[in-house]
Structure 1
Amino acid sequence: MKISDIVALGLWPDSKKTTSQKGISELEDLGYNLFYIGKNADLYTCPGEDAKVLLVRSDRCSVFDIPLNLLIDGKGVSQTAISNNGAEFAKEAGIRTAILSEKVDQSLAIAPRCQLMELCKPLEAQIDGEVVQFELIYRNYLTGSLFDACQNGNDPYGLNLPSDLPQWSKFETPIFTPTTKGIKDEPLNSEKVRIKFPEIVTSLEKLFKDFTAFAEARGIIVVDTKFEIFVNSKGEWVLGDEVLTPESSRFISKEDFDAANYISMDKQLLRDFGKANNWKEKSKDLKPGEKLEVNVPQTIKDKILSGYTTILNRLSK
């Protein structure tokens, strides 16, 4: 399938610019053709007529949606393995994902970074008179932007949470805080989205609860997670490629959490370093396609990779 076929099917947004660059030679030689370069991963068309693409994770990094000239060796392999584990957990729970069970030739050097993906389009629906795409977020603990909102007397999701709840309060049952998906994610009324997609919201709530228990038994606290929903060619809803991974969730090792050390095992160290070095302000001068030049200490890179490795080791069945 060619990129023109993907566009014709209405499965590729105009906002995402394709590339004519050549990709990895061992893939191109087999008929996989690079067509999109993302911040952290690349997409290839696949030989044949099936509606699927090949996702190849890199070691590139980004934070705050800022592309960086930063590589962390081994991150892409770990991320792919964690993503495969998350997808398998969802499938065992009876939930479809866009990640196909089919694999590329495992003798390829690039194989540990590869996932074959079903071509899907984002789930869309009308909420309050506007057609939006969704990020369905579940939270076990009060922290981050929701804690700030509660402190300021705001109720962005219509949950009627007490304003005096302390940070890191654990909810008796996970709460549902959906947002739009776009340049800026806007909070949505929880009950309105639940009424719009009752089966999806309930199924993912159970998946989140089950995964929380599974992870905690293996030494990882799941603070929250975000699910992105797509629709396949059969009209079925499916999860995307980041299912229960550090890219879509906040994980904290149980030993750190119990010691009130709430640093998540993902890119939080990099975000904190970026805030301290004013990356958001510096990135405003970037031209399209440019990366922000950053100098990150090796100690931070090592800690980030160690976090991914720990997650992979603890969550592998």
Structure 2
Amino acid sequence: MKIGDIVELGLWPESKKTTSQKGISELEELGYNLFYIGKNADLYTCPGDEPKILLVRSDRCSVFDIPLKLEIEGKGILQTAISNSGAKFAKEAGIRTAILSENVDESLSIYPRCQFMELCKPLEAEIDGDVVQFEFIFRNYLTGSLFDACQSGNDPYGLNLPAGLQQWHKFETPIFTPTTKGVKDIPLNSAKVREKFPEIISSMENLFKKFTQFAEDNGIVVVDTKFEIFINSKGEWVLGDEVLTPESSRFIAREDFDKGEFISMDKQILRNFAKENNWKEKAKDLKPGEKLPVDVPDSIKNKVLDGYSTIKSRLSK
């Protein structure tokens, strides 16, 4: 299927610019054609007429939607393995995902970075007069931006949480804090979004609870998780490619959490380093298509890789 066919099906947003660059030669020779270069992964059209694409993860990094001139060798392979494991967990829980079970030829050098994906478009709906795309976020603990909002007396999701809750308060049942998906994620009223998508939210909530328990049994505390929902060519809703991974969730080793050491094992490691080094401020002068040059010590890179490796070994299905 060619990119023109994908566009014709209405499954590729006009806002995402395709590329005419050539991709990895061993894929191009087999009839896979690079058509999109993302922040962390590349997409290829596939030979044949099936509505699917090939996602190839790179070692590129980004934080806060800032494209970085940074690669961490080995991250892409680890992330793909964790994503496949998360997709398997979701499927066993009865949730459709965009990740297909087939694989490319195992003899290809890029095999461990590849996932076949069903062609999908983002879930959209009108909320308060605007058509928006969504990030469905579930939280087990009060921390991060929600804690900051509570400290300031704000209630961005309409949750009416009790006053005076301390950081790292554990909620009896996960709370739902949806946002828009875009350059800036804007909090949405939790009840309104539930009303729009009762079946999807209920399914995601159950999946999050099951995964939280599974992770806890295997030595990892799940702080929160973001789910992105897409619509496939048959009009069915499916879960996107980042399923219960360190790119979409915050994980802490059980042994650290129990000692009150809230050390992230995920993308938060790089986010924290970015905050300390004012990457957001530095990125304001970037021109379209430019990447922010950053100097990241091996100690930080190794922390990221160690975290991903631990997550993979403890959560592999």
Alignment partner of 1:79: what SS? helix
Aligned to 2:157, the other structure's residue is in SS state coil
Q: Deviations over 1:78-120 (max 9, x none)?
A: 0000000000000000000000011111111101000000001
| Aligned-residue offset at 1:196 | 1.0
Residue 292 of structure 2 aligns to a residue in which SS?
coil
How many Å apart are 1:296 and its aligned residue? 0.7
- Provide the C-alpha distance between the structure 2 equivalents of 1:293 and 1:130, rounded to a whole number of angstroms: 36
SS in structure 2 at match of 1:140:
strand
- 2:27 aligned residue: 27
Query: How far does the alpha carbon of each residue in 1:28-61 deviate from its partner, in whole angstroms, 9 at most, with x for none?
Result: 0000000111111000000111111100000011
* Aligned counterparts, 1:104-119, within 5 A: 104-119=104-119
Structure 2 CA distance for aligned equivalents of residues 283 and 160 of structure 1: 35
Q: CA deviation at 1:162?
A: 1.2
What is the alpha-carbon distance in structure 2 between the residues aligned to residue 149 and residue 52 of structure 1? 41
Name 2:43's counterpart in structure 1. 43
Q: Which residue of 2 aligns with 1:168?
A: 168
Does structure 1 conserve the Cα–Cα contact (< 8 Å) formed by 2:123 and 2:231? yes
SS at match of 1:264: coil
What is the match of residue 279 of structure 1? Answer: 279
4+ residue segments displaced more than 4 Å: none
Do 1:119 and 1:232's aligned partners in 2 also have CA atoms closer than 8 Å?
yes
| In structure 2, C-alpha distance between the alignment counterparts of 1:186 and 1:65, rounded to whole Å | 14
Q: In structure 2, how many angstroms separate the alpha carbons of the residues matched to 1:285 and 1:131?
A: 30
1:251-278 CA-to-partner distances (Å, cap 9, x unmatched) read 0111111111112111222222221211
Deviation of 1:293 after TM superposition, in Å, equals: 1.0
- Once the two structures are TM-superposed, the CA of residue 205 in structure 1 deviates from its matched residue by 0.5
The one-letter amino acid of 1:268's match is Q
For 1:56-67, what aligned pairs fall within 5 Å after superposition?
56-67=56-67
Once the two structures are superposed, residues 215-251 of structure 1 have per-residue CA deviations (whole angstroms, 9 ceiling, x without a partner) of 0110100000000000111111100000100011000
Q: Which amino acid aligns with 2:140?
A: N
Question: Hey, what's the Cα distance between the residues in 2 that align with 1:213 and 1:312?
Answer: 16
- Residue 69 of structure 1: CA displacement? 1.3
Root-mean-square deviation over aligned CA pairs: 0.9
* Residue number in structure 2 paired with 1:155: 155
SS at match of 1:12: coil
Q: TM-score, normalised by structure 1?
A: 0.98
Name the stretch that deviates more: 24-33 or 276-285.
Answer: 276-285
Amino acid at match of 1:73: E
Query: Is the Cα contact below 8 Å between 2:65 and 2:183 reproduced in 1?
Result: no
Cα pair 1:150 1:162 within 8 Å, conserved: no
What is the CA–CA distance in structure 1 between the aligned matches of 2:150 and 2:18, rounded to whole Å?
41
> Which residue number corresponds to residue 136 of structure 1?
136
The structural deviation recorded for 1:299 is: 0.8
> Is contact 2:250-2:268 (8 Å) kept?
no
Contact 1:283 1:292 in 2 (8 A): yes
Instruction: Give the AA of the match of 2:153.
Output: G
| Percent of aligned pairs with the same amino acid | 80
Equivalent residues in 2 for 1:132-281 (5 A)? Answer: 132-281=132-281
86-95 or 273-282, which deviates more: 273-282
State the 1:9 CA deviation: 1.3
Unaligned runs of 5+ residues in structure 1 are: none
Is the deviation greater in 39-48 or in 64-73? Answer: 64-73
Structure 1 Cα separation of the partners of residues 68 and 129 of structure 2: 37
Report the residue type matching 1:216 in the other structure: E
What is the DSSP-based 3-state SS (H/G/I as helix, E as strand, rest coil) of the residue aligned with 1:213? helix
| Worse-superposed segment, 303-312 or 154-163 | 154-163
Q: Secondary structure at the match of 2:306?
A: helix
Answer yes or no: is the 8 Å Cα contact 1:96–1:239 preserved in 2: yes
Cα deviation, 1:158-197, whole Å, max 9, x if unaligned, reads 1110120000000000011111111111111111111111
What letter is aligned with 2:226? K
* Distance (Å, rounded) in 1 between the aligned partners of 2:178 and 2:15: 23
2:251 aligned counterpart, secondary structure: strand
